A and B are shown apart, each in its own frame.
Chain A
Amino acid sequence: MSLPRSARLVAPLAIVIAASLAACASPAAGSGEGQRIDGGTIVYAPQQEPACVFGGWIEQAYISYNVLDSLVSLDENSQVVPWLAEKWEESDDGLSWTFTLKDGVGFTDGTPVNAEAVAYNFDYWVTGGNSTARVWLFGYYESAEVVDDLTVRINLSAPYPRLADNLTQGYFGIQSKDALETRSDEDNCSAPIGSGAFIVEEWNRGQNLVLVRNENYTSWPANALHEGPAYVEKVDWRFVADATTRVAALQSSEVDAIYDVPAVQWKTLDDGGYELERYVTAGRPQQLSFNTQIGPFTDERVRQAFAYSLDREQIVETIGQGVIPFEGNGGVSQSTPGYSQAAADRYTYDPEKAAELLDEAGWQLNADGVREKDGETLEVVLPYGAGSIVNADGAAILQGVKEQAEQVGFVVDLIPVPQAELFAGAYSTAEERDIAVGYWTAVTSGILYINWRPSTPESPNYSNQAFYDDEELGQLILDANSAADLDTQNELYQQAQEYIADHALAIGVYARLSTLAVAPNLHDVWQEHAQGGPTFYDAYLTE
């Protein structure tokens, strides 16, 4: 949520005061583990309140992950482990996956978690139930078939060996078929029915969402720390939009854990004895994609010059204070399987090289220090979703990008776009922008398919933000997606990233983080490994 200008100016002052008050405000730390509390309520303060519990947005996946079980879970070694599915098998031709469900699991409305329900959920997602689940299944999913009561077969149009990995994301939470069919949209939005460790008890809009323990929970994932129902009785999911308030609420013991810890408060909280958790989300990092269809960046040399003009690592280090990780790779982030370090290292700060490339491309420096060609200045439009896709730290980093690119003669129109406009389609076409900024969390390098699949008239791909409709890159990614052998797959994904880097189609800036700060009396909150959301199933409080 963006704040008024005055707010940004006073924020540093507020932080100084917060830091000085924190000394007297932080609870006694390091006193060891106290008496374990039976039950109790965890008060957790995230930043954003979504419109519905379940949906295609990561903030929704974070909540629904505690309410809905998925077929499979991802453990800390990025291995897919059983959850609702006890085992699964890919057919020899790779065109169908058979999931065998645990027996005796029920949704919290009393209906059984069976093959019929799972198959129904797949069709529900691809017909609009979850647009993010849908893009992941796009191009591969054919149908879901009930084999017997506990066996469901997913038929694909082409092999996709990492299907199970992708299904660990919160967008694939399984809901009661009966609830989806018979209840109102409103009810399914505010309190979806799953078989998860918690049930939505009430949603006081604008304040909090209360989750209550599912006393009959039987379907914990294989990577959970314990068995049986959750330890705590309730989780009070309390929406606190303001970062300063979140930190203050944690320091005054009003909440037990907070999400999205501001970089400047990291050290204060660490010194105060709070447990800090940081998860670098895999998938597309926060990156810059160049418009390869219209404008100056249609010339590869100009794209490369832009990349060489930036000391991205220094900018991220300065703004991120060591908390935000630099990410040079424009395809996927460092925590993604199949990551290419070579692609990340492709461009380092080299303004001379940038100048040379621009000269070669015919863009000459004029008296004002701006490049010109045929009477046109080298002006590029860089819109970004202020407060929605790019947070305050990210906006500061983009400002650094603008300043450095202008040193070699670019003119960068850095345009903060309000969420209302951006999401309504402003700056979404090739005519409107030269550079696009954005991230997309994922579990595998399969995200490359979403972001780089070539557009065709029959099947446009608007997530291809570079508008780069290239068969060679597209084929590399398709081959990688379907490669049966993991090493071959990683090799192909790496080639795709290197292709993106060599042609300077996109360059990375920083990796997206999911951060938590947890009070000393709350234990075993873990960030699930698919997307970094907080998991409260194993968590317990002590005195």
Chain B
Amino acid sequence: MTPTSPSSTPRAIALQVLHKLGTALSVLIGAVTVAFFAQTALPGNRATAILNIRAGQAVQRTPEELAQINQQYGLERPLVVQYLDYLVGALRGDFGHSYQQYRPVAEIIGEQLGATVVLALTAIVIAWILMVVWVTLTAGRGPRVGAIGSLVDVTAAALPAYWLGIILLLVFALGLRLFPVIGGTGPAGLVLPALTLAIPLAGFLAQATRTEFERALDQPFVISARMRGQGDLGVRLGHVLRHAILPAITLTGWALGATLSGAVVVESIFSRPGIGQVLVTAVNSQDLPIVVGIVVLISAFYVLANLLVDIAYTIVDPRLKGAAS
């Protein structure tokens, strides 16, 4: 976030970009390392898991059975060798093959990624709309309205996704027949899953924004804007909001990662495809290549989200722009 060089020569910019890329790469390698060793540190034996999942029975396995799997996947090699082998592959873009589906991990993630990204982005957009409308309407309207406003924020933020999802499903899909029960990937099927993620997120964002919003309302520039004859809504949207949303932007960077990894509950309720579902299945079956692949992907999203947040900051707060260039 903090610029490393005050100059803006092409060379300096290139260095800055390189620095960012280097940081991103080291974060990703760190994620691979942690995920790989966390997976291999799980209790039990990977070859046993591979065999048992294929058989649907949780039993011990004979040395001959295990030897075959160990040999096939190279699980008998020292862990460090397996890790380096994996890392070299990952750097070349080869994330290995799933133990259970016999398919390349990149392909498995690739076909599920779109649905999850669309869901996460839609949820964030809806959360922002809900938050902006709600905070603009209720912040700084005296103690009573303010109390109701923040009560709703807290309640929304605390709603468990499973409960909310089921209620939305039963009321709007089954009861009122406005949306399909099984979401699928079409636009109609996106509304309820996105709302399920968006409502608690809007609560979080509103909590963060409300305090700033109320503080900004007391600022001199608000009084001067009102003195110029600007209407209340205009002041709120045109001046106050801009000052109040910085914390919410930071939170959004976090939310992009969190909705990706937290999408699994929603994917389960609305039977949506997505990487959340794939991740849970893979964790359950100790399908290490898929688990590590998804962890790397989610880390990549966090890295990207942080980058976007940096950019958004400079757009919203021109003071930072000056500092950056």
Judged by a CB distance under 8 angstroms, whether A158 is at the interface is no
Judged by a CB distance under 8 angstroms, whether A421 is at the interface is yes
Among A11, A52, A254, find the residue whose CB has the most chain B CB atoms closer than 10 A. Answer: A254
With CB as the reference atom, state the residue of chain B lying closest to A241. B268
Judged by a CB distance under 8 angstroms, whether B42 is at the interface is yes
Mark contacts of A284-301 with chain B using CB atoms, 8 A cut-off: 1 yes-contact digit, 0 otherwise: 000000000000000000
* Contact across chains for A52 and B100 when beta carbons are under 8 A apart: yes
Contacting A at CB under 8 A, from B73-116, are 98, 100-103, 108, 111-112, 115
Contacting B at CB under 8 A, from A53-67, are 55-60
Closest Cβ of chain A: how far from B274's Cβ, in Å? 6
Q: Give Cα A245 to B173, complex, Å.
A: 10
Contacts of B167 in A (CB 8 A): 14, 17
Contacts of A186 in B (CB 8 A): 101-103
Judged by a CB distance under 8 angstroms, whether A252 is at the interface is yes
Question: How many B residues, CB 8 Å from partner?
Answer: 63
Partner of A242, one of B49, B101, B271: B271
Judged by a CB distance under 8 angstroms, whether A25 is at the interface is yes
* Contact across chains for A189 and B101 when beta carbons are under 8 A apart: yes
Partner of B98, one of A45, A51, A244, A424: A51
Q: Give Cα A453 to B143, complex, Å.
A: 75
Judged by a CB distance under 8 angstroms, whether B285 is at the interface is yes
Judged by a CB distance under 8 angstroms, whether A279 is at the interface is no
* Contact across chains for A10 and B160 when beta carbons are under 8 A apart: yes
Judged by a CB distance under 8 angstroms, whether A420 is at the interface is yes
Mark contacts of B54-81 with chain A using CB atoms, 8 A cut-off: 1 yes-contact digit, 0 otherwise: 1111111110000010000000000000
Closest Cβ of chain B: how far from A410's Cβ, in Å? 24
* Contact across chains for A420 and B283 when beta carbons are under 8 A apart: yes
Judged by a CB distance under 8 angstroms, whether B117 is at the interface is no
* Contact across chains for B173 and A4 when beta carbons are under 8 A apart: no
Segment at the interface with A among B26-34, B125-133, B177-185, B309-317:
B177-185
Judged by a CB distance under 8 angstroms, whether B277 is at the interface is yes
* Contact across chains for A238 and B54 when beta carbons are under 8 A apart: no
Closest Cβ of chain A: how far from B55's Cβ, in Å? 4
What bracket does the count of chain A residues touching chain B fall in? 35 or more
Judged by a CB distance under 8 angstroms, whether A373 is at the interface is no
Segment at the interface with B among A74-82, A172-180, A201-209:
A201-209
Judged by a CB distance under 8 angstroms, whether B254 is at the interface is no
Q: A7-B163, A420-B42, A423-B49 are in contact. Are A206 and B278 (CB under 8 A)?
A: yes
* Contact across chains for B46 and A424 when beta carbons are under 8 A apart: yes
Judged by a CB distance under 8 angstroms, whether A32 is at the interface is no
Contacts of B48 in A (CB 8 A): 423-425, 428
Q: A206-B278, A251-B174 are in contact. Are A238 and B98 (CB under 8 A)?
A: no
Contacts of A52 in B (CB 8 A): 100-102
Mark contacts of A168-207 with chain B using CB atoms, 8 A cut-off: 1 yes-contact digit, 0 otherwise: 0000000000000000111001100000000000001111
Q: Give Cα A249 to B162, complex, Å.
A: 17
Q: A14-B167, A57-B56, A420-B284 are in contact. Are A249 and B265 (CB under 8 A)?
A: no
Mark contacts of B296-319 with chain A using CB atoms, 8 A cut-off: 1 yes-contact digit, 0 otherwise: 000000000000000000000000
Q: Give Cα A11 to B62, complex, Å.
A: 41
* Contact across chains for B112 and A132 when beta carbons are under 8 A apart: no
* Contact across chains for B170 and A21 when beta carbons are under 8 A apart: yes
* Contact across chains for A460 and B62 when beta carbons are under 8 A apart: yes
Judged by a CB distance under 8 angstroms, whether A370 is at the interface is no
Partner of B184, one of A24, A56, A207, A385: A207
Judged by a CB distance under 8 angstroms, whether B43 is at the interface is yes
Judged by a CB distance under 8 angstroms, whether B257 is at the interface is no
Mark contacts of A397-415 with chain B using CB atoms, 8 A cut-off: 1 yes-contact digit, 0 otherwise: 0000000000000000000
Contacts of A185 in B (CB 8 A): 102
Q: Give Cα A15 to B29, complex, Å.
A: 45
Judged by a CB distance under 8 angstroms, whether A37 is at the interface is no
Judged by a CB distance under 8 angstroms, whether B175 is at the interface is yes
Closest Cβ of chain A: how far from B98's Cβ, in Å? 7
Contacts of B51 in A (CB 8 A): 131
Contacts of B52 in A (CB 8 A): 423-425
* Contact across chains for B181 and A248 when beta carbons are under 8 A apart: yes
Q: Give Cα A446 to B284, complex, Å.
A: 31
Judged by a CB distance under 8 angstroms, whether A314 is at the interface is no
Partner of A25, one of B44, B49, B102, B175: B175
Judged by a CB distance under 8 angstroms, whether A422 is at the interface is yes
Partner of B284, one of A60, A244, A419, A425: A419
* Contact across chains for A1 and B280 when beta carbons are under 8 A apart: yes
Judged by a CB distance under 8 angstroms, whether A426 is at the interface is yes
Judged by a CB distance under 8 angstroms, whether B222 is at the interface is no
With CB as the reference atom, state the residue of chain B lying closest to A134. B55
With CB as the reference atom, state the residue of chain A lying closest to B291. A420
Contacts of A57 in B (CB 8 A): 54-56
Among B48, B185, B284, find the residue whose CB has the most chain A CB atoms closer than 10 A. Answer: B284
Judged by a CB distance under 8 angstroms, whether B53 is at the interface is yes
Judged by a CB distance under 8 angstroms, whether A255 is at the interface is yes
Closest Cβ of chain B: how far from A190's Cβ, in Å? 8
Q: Give Cα A7 to B58, complex, Å.
A: 26
Among A132, A190, A252, find the residue whose CB has the most chain B CB atoms closer than 10 A. Answer: A252
Contacts of A18 in B (CB 8 A): 170, 174
Mark contacts of A83-116 with chain B using CB atoms, 8 A cut-off: 1 yes-contact digit, 0 otherwise: 0000000000000000000000000000000000
Q: Give Cα A4 to B163, complex, Å.
A: 10
Q: Give Cα A520 to B312, complex, Å.
A: 55
Q: A10-B162, A58-B56 are in contact. Are A238 and B271 (CB under 8 A)?
A: yes
Q: Give Cα A429 to B265, complex, Å.
A: 34
With CB as the reference atom, state the residue of chain B lying closest to A43. B182
Q: A14-B166, A242-B268, A418-B284 are in contact. Are A7 and B160 (CB under 8 A)?
A: yes
Judged by a CB distance under 8 angstroms, whether A128 is at the interface is yes
Contacts of B175 in A (CB 8 A): 21, 24-25
* Contact across chains for B285 and A420 when beta carbons are under 8 A apart: yes
* Contact across chains for A462 and B61 when beta carbons are under 8 A apart: yes
* Contact across chains for A56 and B54 when beta carbons are under 8 A apart: yes
* Contact across chains for A245 and B269 when beta carbons are under 8 A apart: yes
Contacts of B182 in A (CB 8 A): 45, 238, 240, 245, 249, 254-255
Contacting B at CB under 8 A, from A1-34, are 1, 3-4, 6-7, 10-11, 13-14, 17-18, 21-22, 24-25
Residues of B at under 8 Å CB distance from A?
Answer: 42-46, 48-49, 51-62, 68, 98, 100-103, 108, 111-112, 115, 160, 162-163, 166-167, 169-171, 173-175, 177, 180-182, 184-185, 265, 267-274, 277-278, 280-281, 283-286
Q: List 21 A-B contacts (CB under 8 A).
A: A7-B162, A17-B167, A17-B170, A17-B171, A18-B174, A25-B177, A49-B281, A128-B68, A205-B273, A207-B184, A238-B182, A239-B271, A242-B271, A245-B271, A252-B181, A254-B181, A385-B58, A423-B285, A424-B43, A424-B48, A425-B58
Q: For the complex of A and B, list the 4 residue pairs with the smallest distance between their C-beta atoms, beginning with the closest.
A: A424-B44, A57-B56, A206-B273, A51-B100
Apart from the given pairs A420-B42, A423-B285, 5 other A-B contacts in the complex at a CB distance below 8 Å:
A18-B174, A189-B102, A242-B271, A245-B269, A424-B48
